[in-house]
Structure 1
């Protein structure tokens, strides 16, 4: 929402109301305060996907097995002293290809 919160250039800003991101280290421990780790969500929000059509097991394996109890986005992120999040990139070997 424009003007709802101050922004910092390049950041993903502060979490939207009701969205609870968290940073998790490689061992699965939640990082408090400023830091850098894997971006996860511990609580669902209305727009989160619920499954993969005809392959719910793949959905669970891909998004919930790395850090049990957390939805893992596959993105690395850092959080600054003010609570703003910065996406640092993908943590997997995903290659995006664009066709014309």
Structure 2
């Protein structure tokens, strides 16, 4: 296998969602502060501070960010908790 083939693994970067797996998406709302969003992601989603900070930054500049992947039932609990904090989140 060449170095180029090693870097481009189609299974890792195909963009396909594995059967049964969903994505929790945070949407930009132009209301909440970075610190507020970061704190929520750390407490509710179990992110490390650095990961939560990057998610908040991506959401700010791109309008949305995938913040968690998993089964629907576990993501629904996180979605509801984030929505209680008035953050805009969806499950796809």
Give the TM bin, normalised by the shorter chain. under 0.3
Normalized against structure 2, the TM-score is what?
0.25
Q: Kindly indicate whether structure 1 or structure 2 has the higher relative contact order, using CA contacts under 8 Å at least 6 residues apart.
A: 2
Normalized against structure 1, the TM-score is what?
0.24
Structure with higher helix content: 2
